[in-house]
Structure 1
Amino acid sequence: MTARSSAAVLQARTALMRSAIGLLSRFFNVLVLEAAEKCPEVTMYFEHKLNRIDFSKGSMDFLQGPEKTKVTKHADLIVGTDGAYSKVRGQMMRMTRMNYQQEYIDECYCELHMPAKLVEGKRTYAMDPNHLHIWPRHKFLITAIPDRDHTFTCTLFMPYGMFEAIDTNEKLMEFFATYFKDIIPLIGEETLQKDYFQNPRGSLISIKASPHHVLAKGVLLGDSAHAMVPFYGQGLNCGLQDVQVLFKVLDEHLICSATVPYGLQQALEAYSAERVEDCHAMCDLAMYNHKELRSGVTSLSYLIRRRLERWIHQRAPQVLVPLYCMVSFSTIPYSEAIRRWRRQSIGILVVLSVLALISMVSLFWLVAQGVTTVYS
């Protein structure tokens, strides 16, 4: 990690962390649609707006096209993957006692593109790709994650009011010259201005819902079940874990069930039981990392802790694994990762306290023995 302030603070990523991949969301959406088109079992309908769901009948009413023609579809299982502002979730809440919590933070984000640079005619990264680059400025920050095409996906996180105040090219360049001077030549003035004013501004919301299913008819996956702020980079991974767990419980319960509806009910109950705790934990971790990235990465206590964790992990990986590695580069459930991290933190604190106590006792013993220090 490179935390950039008045002086750069360099923290190299571990071997696992170097396998992190950055991908613009719009490119991923295109990849998913192209893959779905190639599946003969998949039929895609565009310009269909969901209006109402009757989960007891498995029916969905849509409004099609500009004429808003009513279209009804039926399904054995309705899967809601329609994002943070999920219509499917809203329909579920009308039918079941679903606990729901949402929290906005007073920031939004804008993606900026850092192009590759040419060295002797070959494309290469403009910065070291083996680090996560962060420009923390307390109230706002920029992050940069390397992409496979030798570019960086940069994201500016800033309060709404500041975005609204920076409304001309002149104000934008003055702002970057004041707070992010070193990033201007890396992105380029023209690209910076185009991305800032043309790219959409995304709001930052954290959503928790429980349960993630209704009867044997509906289930939520991804942001519709657990939207999170993007400061841990786990939104997509968490959604893919939903798919993995759903497939697992379907296999476990449908195979051994005498009837499909009963087996499906059991499977969805098992899905909610397994995912709710972990998804809530990930939402909390993302909020926690938001505070650390804004200002924590520049604090002395944070740097000491990170270096100590890395030193121990390199020498005894079975004893201590950094929280980020457990969350991002293992299959350890998010909730279990937090529990392990807390135990590790207590262990480190105990060891440091014992070492400090031994040092103090040794010092007092030396003083009691009349040992003096001679300076020459």
Structure 2
Amino acid sequence: MSQEFDEMVTTNGQSDQHFKIIIVGGGLVGSLAAINFAKKGHDVHLYEYREDIRKIELVKGRSINLALSARGRRALAEVGLEDKLLKHGIPMRGRMLHDLAGRTQAVPYDSNTNQCIYSVGRKHLNEVLLNEAEKYSNIHLNFNRKMTSAKLRQRQVTFHDEKNDGIENVAGDLIVGCDGAFSAVRRAMLQVPGFDFSQTYIDHGYIELCIPPVNGEFQMEVNYLHIWPRGKFMMIALPNQDKSWTVTLFMPFSNFASIVTIDDLLTFFTENFPDSIDFIGEKRLIDDFFKATPQHLVSIKCRPTYVDPNFLLLGDAAHAMVPFYGQGMNAGFEDCTILSQILDQHQNHFHLALKEFSDCRWPNAEAICDLAMYNYVEMRDLVRSKSYRLRKILDDFLYRIFANYWIPLYNSISFSHMPYKQCIDNRKWQDKILSRIMVFGSISFAGILGFVYIYSKR
């Protein structure tokens, strides 16, 4: 099948026909991937099992806010949508830490160049991408279509029409799974020998609350991601366009289970997040908390992300991650960017391009999944420590002096396009350098003390 796919190329290396691309999943990554394929002239059929998000008010089961950073911005810029989304987004220039007494401390993400991430609404972003996709005559949008099975050798997918209760069998040249953490496309790929897959649930869950605007204004200082770090759990808040804040409480399920009554809830918040009660409002806190069910957090890894004959995974279907680095959407968008670049380099030799994409992408996807896990510990606990603050000051100082050589971990993840695995390797190199400096400094200091002692005895 793959040989046949690559034979659809003329001697000058350019594709002599356009391929039929079936994309399963019409969320953020699926709609962006559709645009990228359409720009290359392919016939794109996008299938989404939900209703058209543009026609409903709320999408249940998905977080409201997303953090848009450099990798996502580049992907949007390549389809002409970056400026439109930045006008909608709210810049967040750092973390605002809340202590138990209600005092706050601002910690900039980048004190040197004042770079920021943007709080964007998931629904708005998805609507913008779908509206853009609709402008292409070679993109065909299909909603209320749930994938039920696939025949890999035939490159055929079966969908159930959720609205009309019908069955639709669709065959294409390439099947792309952009259908999230519980991907039906990935489930079909499990039939292929050599396809590795793992999923890890953490014992922490989350619920979303809300800080409403007061007199049409934000209640807290805007342009920050607000964090209430409490060691084993934390609460964060991201600003919205309507001047409200989406508040997310992350903590072990055992803690959620211990809050049974209204008194339990108010006692818990009074002890741990006292300043937030006035922001949220006692009645709203009670109503929103008890009507919510704590949601699970899962990390998913798989390799390869492409299998013969021409099944490919992008976004959460390939690398779902916990949300603590704000890179889920950005990594999925970067999938689209890198895939597009590799397809161009191979001049639409799909089999070669897809294999190269998979080979280069999965190590970086696994790296950011691991980093996301680590950052939860940093956000809920380490940000409170003196050693963390000292390292932050030192990183910023060295970054200011050696900007081309010393890039702090967070900056490399959020404000650069450095491969995720290289970001980790870079951090390990920095740790090694600082350890040697500390050892040298300690020896030098001890030597100075010894010299002073000897000199004083003369």
**Does TM-score exceed 0.5, indicating one fold?**
yes
For residues 184 and 408 of structure 2, what CA distance do their matches in structure 1 show?
38
Residue 119 of structure 2: aligned partner: 22
For residues 268 and 200 of structure 1, what CA distance do their matches in structure 2 show?
40
For residues 106 and 282 of structure 1, what CA distance do their matches in structure 2 show?
20
2:221 corresponds to 1:128: yes
- Trace 1:58-207 onto structure 2 (pairs within 5 A): 58-65=155-162, 68-118=165-215, 123-198=216-291, 201-207=294-300
Q: Is the 8 A contact 1:110 1:202 kept in 2?
A: yes
For residues 303 and 182 of structure 2, what CA distance do their matches in structure 1 show?
15
Q: Choose which of 83, 98, 115 in structure 2 pairs with 1:4.
A: 98
Q: Choose which of 283, 306, 309 in structure 1 pairs with 2:392.
A: 306
- Trace 1:31-70 onto structure 2 (pairs within 5 A): 31-65=128-162, 68-70=165-167
- Opposite residue 5 of structure 1, the aligned amino acid is D
Change (3 A) 1:175 1:25: farther
For residues 375 and 279 of structure 2, what CA distance do their matches in structure 1 show?
26
Task: Answer with 1-10 or 237-246: which moved more.
Answer: 1-10
Structure 1 position 309, deviation (Å): 1.5
- Opposite residue 235 of structure 1, the aligned amino acid is G
2:330 corresponds to 1:237: yes
Structure 1 position 76, deviation (Å): 1.3
Gapped runs of 5+ residues in structure 1? 256-262
Q: Is the 8 A contact 1:24 1:153 kept in 2?
A: no
Structure 1 position 22, deviation (Å): 1.6
- Opposite residue 296 of structure 1, the aligned amino acid is L
> Taking CA–CA contacts closer than 8 Å with sequence separation of 6 or more, which of the two structures ends up with the larger relative contact order?
2
The superposition leaves residues 43-79 of structure 1 with CA deviations (integer Å, 9 ceiling, x where unpaired) of 2222222111112222111122367432111211111
Q: Choose which of 263, 270, 278 in structure 1 pairs with 2:356.
A: 270
Change (3 A) 1:172 1:322: same
Residue 219 of structure 1: SS of its match in structure 2? Answer: strand
Structure 1 position 288, deviation (Å): 0.8
Change (3 A) 1:189 1:39: farther
Identical aligned residues as a percent: 34
The superposition leaves residues 218-250 of structure 1 with CA deviations (integer Å, 9 ceiling, x where unpaired) of 110000000101110000000000011111111
- Opposite residue 321 of structure 1, the aligned amino acid is I
Residue 219 of structure 1: aligned partner: 312
2:418 corresponds to 1:332: yes
The superposition leaves residues 143-187 of structure 1 with CA deviations (integer Å, 9 ceiling, x where unpaired) of 123345544332110222333443454433332122111111222
RMSD: 2.4
Change (3 A) 1:38 1:335: same
Change (3 A) 1:148 1:13: farther
The superposition leaves residues 344-368 of structure 1 with CA deviations (integer Å, 9 ceiling, x where unpaired) of 1111221222122211111110111
Q: Choose which of 332, 337, 343 in structure 2 pairs with 1:250.
A: 343
Residue 260 of structure 1: aligned partner: none
- Opposite residue 174 of structure 2, the aligned amino acid is L
Q: Structure 2 length normalisation: TM-score?
A: 0.73
Change (3 A) 1:342 1:129: farther
For residues 25 and 18 of structure 1, what CA distance do their matches in structure 2 show?
22
For residues 134 and 371 of structure 1, what CA distance do their matches in structure 2 show?
54
Gapped runs of 5+ residues in structure 2? 1-94
For residues 387 and 376 of structure 2, what CA distance do their matches in structure 1 show?
17
For residues 315 and 72 of structure 1, what CA distance do their matches in structure 2 show?
60
Change (3 A) 1:243 1:198: farther
For residues 244 and 322 of structure 2, what CA distance do their matches in structure 1 show?
23
The superposition leaves residues 85-117 of structure 1 with CA deviations (integer Å, 9 ceiling, x where unpaired) of 111001011134211111100111122222344
Change (3 A) 1:131 1:64: closer
Q: Is the 8 A contact 2:155 2:172 kept in 1?
A: yes
Residue 359 of structure 1: aligned partner: 445
For residues 310 and 29 of structure 1, what CA distance do their matches in structure 2 show?
35
Q: Structure 1 length normalisation: TM-score?
A: 0.88
